[in-house]
Structure 1
Amino acid sequence: MLRKIESKNMGSSNLGWLRSKFHFSFAEYYNPDNINFGVLRVINDDLIQSNTGFDTHPHRDMEIVSYVIDGELTHGDSMGNKNTITRGHVQYMSAGTGVYHSEHNLGEDTARLLQIWIYPDKKGYEPNYGDYRFNWKDRENKWLHMVSSKDGDAPIKINQDVNIYSLELRKGEEISFPVKEGRQAYLVQIEGNSLINEIELNERDGMEIVEEDILIKGKETSHILILEMSKED
């Protein structure tokens, strides 16, 4: 089963310093039929103006992954961490029993990132933070496995059975991705234009994939993120 979600039909917000597309219910956008996709609770496609950002605020019992598309993102938290990442890099935080953090764009240009929230497999983990600076070439025409469960083999490990992959597929190239029985995936067309099993996706569109292998064809050079997980009961 494939279901395309067009960007124009997603929730949106414009606070001036922050412009967002919400793949799932968030903030002032509430749709009772679009709260989550399995353990995936939030994907926000955020544009953050220079020298602005999210001031210190709390989180609890959530696995939070930030994937930078453009510009830079600086993280600070109550555990004493402070780091800046740029295009193609990832920050990860397990909020667990509770943590305060901030995220700011201290660069000169507008930053774009995907903010991803995933339900943990249980509550009460000790808070944890990490980041990883992936080589961009490692996702050119191939899947870069960035995030997995603690039992997986990705560099970043979270407290949930979720795998996150990124890809830059050149125009005219093809690549497959298996979504096996009992599994599902959510795809974000971050940049470019592609065909997913002959269904066209444009920049910022999404797609739900349930127990169906896909073939991706690049109509333009395409930057794609896939989150693969256990199928929702």
Structure 2
Amino acid sequence: MMDVRRATERYRGGDPEAGIESFHAFSFGPHFDPDNLRFGALLACNEERLDPGAGFDEHPHSHTEIVTWVVEGELTHRDSAGHATVVRAGDVQRLSSAGGVRHVERNDGPGPLTFVQMWLAPLEPGGDPWYEIVHGIADSTPYAVPEAGAMLHVRRLAAGERTALPDGPYAYVHVVRGEVILDGERLGPGDAARITDAKDLEAVGLTAGTELLVWEMTD
């Protein structure tokens, strides 16, 4: 079964006066929908757009696996465990907040910043915070988040190119850029598909430079 959620259905948030624009695919902050709390392990899929100099001041997280994909620009990350990095387009960043961690996210670069941040529920709570950044992840290299029983696949497609989606109990497809046909549905930037019991599905690129984030989840 596939449930398509359009970009126009996302909850708008952020603080435009502070240079922050946010789009939430799931219930988030004041936007509460009891029927849209999570899908599989996925708790949030937020698209964040930050003007130069804008950002999120230090704030806490716990018992959440936070995976960030930078679309354009540079994301400066600092956390209470001592990590300080700059995340750029094509990089995957993961912060395992575990028993608790605080961090800062800012656009200290010269141009606009867009990133997609996804939160996943761990299989077991607690533990020590953990951080990783993978620079320039390739299409053929899935990124595993075993703590959440999940795996992220980055798919980049040319017009007419096909890619098989992973089979499994739960699959979540987020279109970063471009357009695809998925099981007869045309999806564009910001659209997403929530697929239960995925089997033998494929996406077909309709435009050059199409980019998909695909979560394969066991729970």
What range describes the TM-score normalised by the shorter chain of this pair?
over 0.9
Which of 110, 127, 149 pairs up with 1:108? 110
Pairwise CA distance, 1:146: 2.0
| Equivalent runs, 1:90-129 vs 2, <5 Å | 90-129=92-131
Code of the residue aligned with 1:97 in structure 2: it is G
Q: Is residue 168–residue 223 contact of structure 1 (8 Å, CA) maintained in 2?
A: yes
Q: TM-score, normalised by structure 1?
A: 0.89
Which SS does the other structure have where 1:172 is aligned?
coil
Kindly report structure 1 stretches of 4+ aligned residues shifted beyond 6 Å. none
Code of the residue aligned with 1:130 in structure 2: it is E
Which of 48, 68, 73 pairs up with 2:75? 73
| Equivalent runs, 1:31-70 vs 2, <5 Å | 31-70=33-72
Work out whether 1:207 is the aligned partner of 2:209: no
Identity of aligned residues (%): 28
Tell me, in whole angstroms, the C-alpha distance in 1 between the residues paired with 2:142 and 2:131.
19
Code of the residue aligned with 1:99 in structure 2: it is V
Which of 145, 148, 151 pairs up with 2:145? 148
Which of 160, 166, 169 pairs up with 2:157? 169
User: Unpaired segments of 5 or more residues in structure 2?
Assistant: none
Which of 202, 206, 213 pairs up with 1:219? 206
| Alpha-carbon displacement from aligned partner over 1:45-88 (angstroms, at most 9, x marks no partner) | 11111111111111111111111011010110111110001001
Work out whether 1:228 is the aligned partner of 2:216: yes
Tell me, in whole angstroms, the C-alpha distance in 2 between the residues paired with 1:195 and 1:177.
12
Which SS does the other structure have where 2:133 is aligned?
strand
Corresponding residue for residue 166 of structure 2: 178
Pairwise CA distance, 1:212: 2.5
Code of the residue aligned with 2:164 in structure 1: it is S
Pairwise CA distance, 1:39: 1.5
Tell me, in whole angstroms, the C-alpha distance in 2 between the residues paired with 1:104 and 1:23.
22
Corresponding residue for residue 152 of structure 1: none
Q: TM-score, normalised by structure 2?
A: 0.94
| Alpha-carbon displacement from aligned partner over 1:6-28 (angstroms, at most 9, x marks no partner) | 11111112511111111100122
Code of the residue aligned with 1:195 in structure 2: it is I
Provide the aligned length of Structure 1 versus Structure 2: 215
| Alpha-carbon displacement from aligned partner over 1:80-137 (angstroms, at most 9, x marks no partner) | 11000100101111111111111111111111111111111111111111111025xx
Tell me, in whole angstroms, the C-alpha distance in 1 between the residues paired with 2:47 and 2:5.
14
Code of the residue aligned with 2:163 in structure 1: it is I
Tell me, in whole angstroms, the C-alpha distance in 2 between the residues paired with 1:125 and 1:104.
26
Which SS does the other structure have where 2:8 is aligned?
helix
Which of 86, 89, 96 pairs up with 1:87? 89
Question: Measured at CA, do residues 102 and 14 of structure 1 come closer, stay the same or move farther in structure 2, by a change above 3 Å?
Answer: closer
Q: Is residue 171–residue 198 contact of structure 2 (8 Å, CA) maintained in 1?
A: no
Q: What is the RMSD computed on CA atoms of the aligned residues? A: 1.2
Code of the residue aligned with 2:205 in structure 1: it is G
User: Unpaired segments of 5 or more residues in structure 1?
Assistant: 150-158
Corresponding residue for residue 4 of structure 2: 4
Which SS does the other structure have where 1:211 is aligned?
strand
Which SS does the other structure have where 1:54 is aligned?
strand
| Alpha-carbon displacement from aligned partner over 1:146-202 (angstroms, at most 9, x marks no partner) | 2331xxxxxxxxx1200011011001111111323xx11110011001100221001
